[in-house]
Amino acid sequence: MQNFSYQNPTKLIFGKNTIGELANEIPQSAKILLTYGGGSIKKNGVYDAAKKALGSRAVFEFGGIEANPRYETCMKTLEIIKKENIDFLLSVGGGSVLDGTKFIALAAKYNGEDPWDFMCGKAKSPNEALPLASILTLPATGSESNANFVVSRNSTQEKFGGWSPLIYPKFSILDPETTYTLPAKQTGNGIVDTFVHTMEQYLTYPVNAPLQDRWAESILTTLIEIGRKGIDEPENYDVRATLMWAATMALNGLISRGVPEDWATHGIGHELTAFYGLDHGQTLAVVMPGLWRNQFEKKKAKLTRYGHRVWGFLKSESETATLAIEKTEEFFESVGIHTKLKDYGIDSAEAAEKISKRFADRGLTSESGLGENRCIGPKEIKEILESR
Amino acid sequence: MQNFSYQNPTKLIFGKNTIGELANEIPQSAKILLTYGGGSIKKNGVYDAAKKALGSRAVFEFGGIEANPRYETCMKTLEIIKKENIDFLLSVGGGSVLDGTKFIALAAKYNGEDPWDFMCGKAKSPNEALPLASILTLPATGSESNANFVVSRNSTQEKFGGWSPLIYPKFSILDPETTYTLPAKQTGNGIVDTFVHTMEQYLTYPVNAPLQDRWAESILTTLIEIGRKGIDEPENYDVRATLMWAATMALNGLISRGVPEDWATHGIGHELTAFYGLDHGQTLAVVMPGLWRNQFEKKKAKLTRYGHRVWGFLKSESETATLAIEKTEEFFESVGIHTKLKDYGIDSAEAAEKISKRFADRGLTSESGLGENRCIGPKEIKEILESR
């Protein structure tokens, strides 16, 4: 097991009818900017419940933060934040709204010229941020209980992730009933996202960390067990609750303590979103199986463990590992998320060319590349995408 | 799944040679009381490493906090805390030293006459506490990452648990190498303690919380897999690291979110320590299997799941559940912890009489008793202990 440190200060408030807890968590004197997305919260009652709980507090609103939140959209909030002396951000929606809100929290306190500079690595992350909290309505990103976020820039077709200890939500309210009205595609994307988050911290190479392995396998097995039910029985409370809790636990930092991490699937997937606008979950379902086949020998030990423990295969190492990849593709398809680029009308040769070139332009090589072994460079990325 | 909230602010610093991190975590100006137990930290290098890391900071010392820390011992610190204006407590040792230190942290800020009053329920827990942190040298209690503690009072043969959000350690340093020199009995007790903590949050009745179940089963399976190695290979780093991480994860509040909890084994076990001085782990190994047999019908569903998932039995419900109890006793014995009162020279009839009477005197009944169903009263406690 590798050395690590761990601290996660976010308070999680989980369960039925918990939105009213807002009243106990945000100071009466707060000047709040309530951020949201396309407006589904105004149809499903979440907005009304939040407004009711906030009572007479000063609440300003900013809607329209899109899936794969855009820098350009988020930047529009800075004026109202300054003008109204906003001192608390409340994200109401899914992980994209929350990711955008995390960026806003840092951007609002940034002293430099353009906040994009701390996203693309030209400047340091700010050492101050507005406090923020969330009401989560789409289990997927784990953003409700971590300090990560991802933002895209339209004008440059770039998508970057950020991290700062200052943007752990003060609290996150997770009411599984708010997810009853999610379209099936979003539920499916969330399941794939949770699954792949777990895999990025599990499917690497063994380091003798049996508890971490089993915790990851617990999430994977549970998702496989109930994933399809999440689509077929949208108002099954226990299924919705478990999907929500699994998404949080998959990316609150816990299962990665002491073990190597991959994240190449995310790195490559972000470019598919940036160039072709694919949903985040869709990109993961496309890339990961291809990446596993490309890195088969290096990942074989963990692929075999996964095939054995999660899928119950007891064949030879290579057979078990191969079957595990096939079963994973079947699972993604079973929750409605396709795993090949052609299913999305994308030419794989073109995507492979474009995206591998972008990584090459950024200086990535097969010796200093993505993944737990840092060996996934432009050549491997091209191979992976061509195979999808 | 039941509603819940969760927040755990403790920073965990885990791994080889991490004691030096103290220097980054405690302010230079702190006036520290370093608390410890019987002095093993002075033999195994932990004391020297801590003192070196603390450098020129003002450090006072208080040794002699015993296993099952005593009120009488802890109270002796209050004078030096007041006289020297101590503003930070650093517990160096196992869970008992840390539990005692948590009591001290609250007692030092208590305004009433006798701090025992907030232990036995006569007064409210203080709303202030000294900040505290720990270097943990014995994985068992989970105290390094929670806000619980247990203290015994010699003069009245009482043992009570307490909880306050004010006493989460600011940080805990967990270096598995510090556990290499533990006597086998303490390693065994720690394994049983971790195992039973997990069971108190798992072996109740099903509430459709599959992820929580699997996380608990992950800890149980891992302990069974490596427990004996912890005794036979005391300097196997990965085994020591996993035992340490398992103990923390078993009682940091996570696996109990959304599910019922039992804790009757602990309640009854505390009295065995109070009357007979048994180690905490020993009391748990004695009580739990008896309690399961006594509550067999009510616990059968989870016993069966446990027997199936953790031990691999695929027999009938009753057979699987029965075998699971037997296997659990065998596991405790395999790590050197006996499961019958006679093994400790205690007459079970006498213990049953004495302890059930004490619970009766406290007003416990079979309708308002211990356990997840509140149905373990003096009658059941007598039956359980007589059977051991």
Please state, as a whole number, how many other Cβ atoms lie within 10 Å of the Cβ of residue A329.
18
pLDDT at A160 over 90: no
> What does the pLDDT read at residue B158?
84
A246 part of contact set with chain B, CB < 8 Å? yes
CB contact under 8 A, A257 and B245: yes
All residues of chain A having their beta carbon less than 8 Å from the beta carbon of residue B222 are: 210-211, 214
The phi and psi torsions of B178 (rounded to 5 degrees) equal -70, -10
d(CA B3, CA A367): 48
pLDDT band of A200, cuts 50, 70, 90? very high
Asked if the interface predicted TM-score (ipTM) of this complex is over 0.85, the answer is yes
Question: What is residue A289's three-state secondary structure?
Answer: helix
Q: Which residue has the tokens 């933060």?
A: A65
**pLDDT per residue as tens digits for the range A203-226:** 999 999 999 999 999 999 999 999
What does chain A come to in residues? 388
Contacts of A230 (CB under 8 A, 6+ apart): A187, A191, A236, A239, A240, A243, A335
All residues of chain B having their beta carbon less than 8 Å from the beta carbon of residue A226 are: 210
All residues of chain A having their beta carbon less than 8 Å from the beta carbon of residue B3 are: 14-16, 18
> What does the pLDDT read at residue B323?
98
Sign of the dihedral through C-alpha A305, A307, A308, A311: positive
pLDDT band of B160, cuts 50, 70, 90? confident
The upper half-sphere exposure of residue B170, i.e. CA atoms within 13 Å in the direction of its Cβ, equals 16
Please state, as a whole number, how many other Cβ atoms lie within 10 Å of the Cβ of residue A23.
13
**pLDDT per residue as tens digits for the range B4-59:** 999 999 999 999 999 999 999 999 999 999 999 998 999 999 999 999 999 999 99
d(CA A125, CA A121): 9
Is the separation of the CB atoms in A86 and A29 below 8 Å? no
Contacts of B312 (CB under 8 A, 6+ apart): none
A11 part of contact set with chain B, CB < 8 Å? yes
> What does the pLDDT read at residue A159?
83
**pLDDT per residue as tens digits for the range B58-116:** 999 999 999 889 999 999 999 999 999 999 999 999 999 999 999 999 999 999 999 99
Q: Tell me the DSSP string of A110-173.
A: --SS-THHHHTTSSPPPS----EEEEE-S-SS-GGGSSEEEEEETTTTEEEEEE-GGGS-SEEE
> What does the pLDDT read at residue B81?
98
By CA distance, what is B21's nearest residue in A?
A5
B211 part of contact set with chain A, CB < 8 Å? yes
Q: What share of chain A in percent tops pLDDT 70?
A: 100
pLDDT band of A254, cuts 50, 70, 90? very high
- Average pLDDT (A59-74) is 95
**pLDDT per residue as tens digits for the range B333-363:** 999 999 999 999 999 999 999 999 999 999 9
CB contact under 8 A, B11 and A5: yes
pLDDT band of B159, cuts 50, 70, 90? confident
Is the separation of the CB atoms in B275 and B355 below 8 Å? yes
The amino acid at residue A124 is K
By CA distance, what is A220's nearest residue in B?
B211
CB contact under 8 A, A218 and B219: no
A253 part of contact set with chain B, CB < 8 Å? no
The upper half-sphere exposure of residue B249, i.e. CA atoms within 13 Å in the direction of its Cβ, equals 24
Is the overall model pTM greater than 0.80, yes or no? yes
All residues of chain B having their beta carbon less than 8 Å from the beta carbon of residue A14 are: 3-6, 257-258
pLDDT at A131 over 90: yes
> What does the pLDDT read at residue A369?
98
Pairing label, strands B4-14, A4-14:
antiparallel
All residues of chain B having their beta carbon less than 8 Å from the beta carbon of residue A242 are: 1, 208-211
d(CA B388, CA B378): 16
CB contact under 8 A, B11 and A7: yes
Q: Tell me the DSSP string of B74-112.
A: HHTHHHHHHHTT--EEEEEESHHHHHHHHHHHHHTT--S
**pLDDT per residue as tens digits for the range B172-212:** 999 999 999 999 999 999 999 999 999 999 999 999 999 99
